Amino acid sequence: MDWFGRARISFTHAKSPVTLKKKDGTVTDLLEICKKATPPCQLNPLLFNGHLQTMYTAVKTEGPPIYYRRKIFDANHKTYHGTFAVDFAVDKHEDVDETLPPRTAYFSEEGFSKIASDDSRPMLIVLHGLSGGSYEEYLRHAIAPLVLGDGDWEVCVVNARGCANSEVTSGVLFNARATWDVRQIINWAKGTFPNRPLFALGFSLGANILTNYVGEEGANCPLKAAVSVGNPFDLEISNKALTRSMIGHHVYQRVMGTNMKKLIANHRDAVEKYTKLDYDQIQRITRLHEFDREVQTVTWGYPTETAYYRDASSCDALLAIKIPFLAIAAEDDPIAVHEAIPYQEFKLNPYTVLCTSSLGGHLSWFEIGGGRWHARPICNFLNSMVSEIDLDAIKPMVNGKEADVEMKTHFDPLRRKLLILSDSE
């Protein structure tokens, strides 16, 4: 039992984690970097289980004041067309746009045209959770130490289509393995900021998307490292865990389903214009798995929502990851349940380390005084990678040998993976 909010910390990893060369010429490994980055987890003792931690997120507090400028990107893929919004963390501004989340305003054309740079500051690309956006408090807590005060990071948040007051401009919506928008932004960032080391951070559904992306890219991944937080990993198991419990079925499933139903309602005109979805039927659903049945199966051609869950799950993608990858999870998470965590896969891939806390709930980890514990291991890990590790010395390994950086990875659709066609196919 965990007393007075003091959570137990555990690490799951390969027998021989990937070796990392330090800037001073010495060597360490990924596990040591992760352990060093992870402080003790002392949470609010009044929120003594995952349900209380998770439900406390409904208590609205101000959180760190992160200011953003938004840029709308046109998708550069002919199949996955449309637009999506990216919010860039910027210095404090007084611009107010009532159509956008708080502290967010659009870039001017002139302002965005000057964004390119050859500086070498590290850059973090962030993916939020289901139906959220750059405004989410758990996200702002995580990036605040990197962009406020002495932080020297550049940060942007890729908003899922239709989220965070962004428009829906095509029939291509987001799902749990919608990797095309984050892929475009990472490639854009690589070209726009050629000297910046790129990193990525994903929360919940965004963590699942990020894990799929890093696995799909394999040895070709442009990122130097990635962090996954509260990843559901195996969506079928997570769904079954939610539906079999009273609170999961009547609270969590209902809240998430209602949020997604509202998202569709906010974009009714676009949904009816660009898709074949049954809007009225969607508005009659009450739970998340019902939403997935009405939306994801129709949009993507899955026969059932469980087929969608199996295909979109990121647990298998772990085995293809070839960059340093830290996953953070709470064992009492009632949404991204511990049964869905692929412990064995973490033990097989030396590029991955799983850090679990016995307490914390779903994207919660509330400390006394309102802090969020997860922000500290995230920022410590990212800062350690930048300040201590020779990032250029990290070479992808395949079967114990250095990988061919030109190698192309491919998920066979017969393995229940949706085939993402290139523009030339």
Exactly one of 362, 364, 374, 384 is catalytic; which is it? 362
Query: Which residues, 6 or more positions from 33, have their beta carbon under 8 angstroms from its beta carbon?
Result: 20, 324, 381, 384, 385, 388, 389
Output the CA torsion 230→11→36→233 (10° steps). -20
Cα Rg of the chain, angstroms: 20
Q: Which residues pair with 87 in a beta bridge?
A: 70, 157
CA 360 centroid distance within chain: 17
Helix (H/G/I), strand (E/B), else coil: 93: coil
Structure-token pair, residue 394: 């990290």
Exactly one of 204, 228, 238, 314 is catalytic; which is it? 204
Helix (H/G/I), strand (E/B), else coil: 216: helix
204 is catalytic: yes
Q: Tokens 């101000």, residue?
A: 62
362 is catalytic: yes
Numbers of helices and strands, H then E, in the chain = 16, 16
Q: What gap in Å lies between CA 379 and CA 59, rounded to an integer?
A: 25
Q: What gap in Å lies between CA 12 and CA 422, rounded to an integer?
A: 35
245 is catalytic: no
Q: Tokens 């501004």, residue?
A: 93
Q: Which residues pair with 303 in a beta bridge?
A: none
| DSSP designation for 251 | I
Query: Which residues, 6 or more positions from 374, have their beta carbon under 8 angstroms from its beta carbon?
Result: 138, 141, 142, 229, 328, 360, 363, 365
What residues are labeled active site?
A: 204, 333, 362
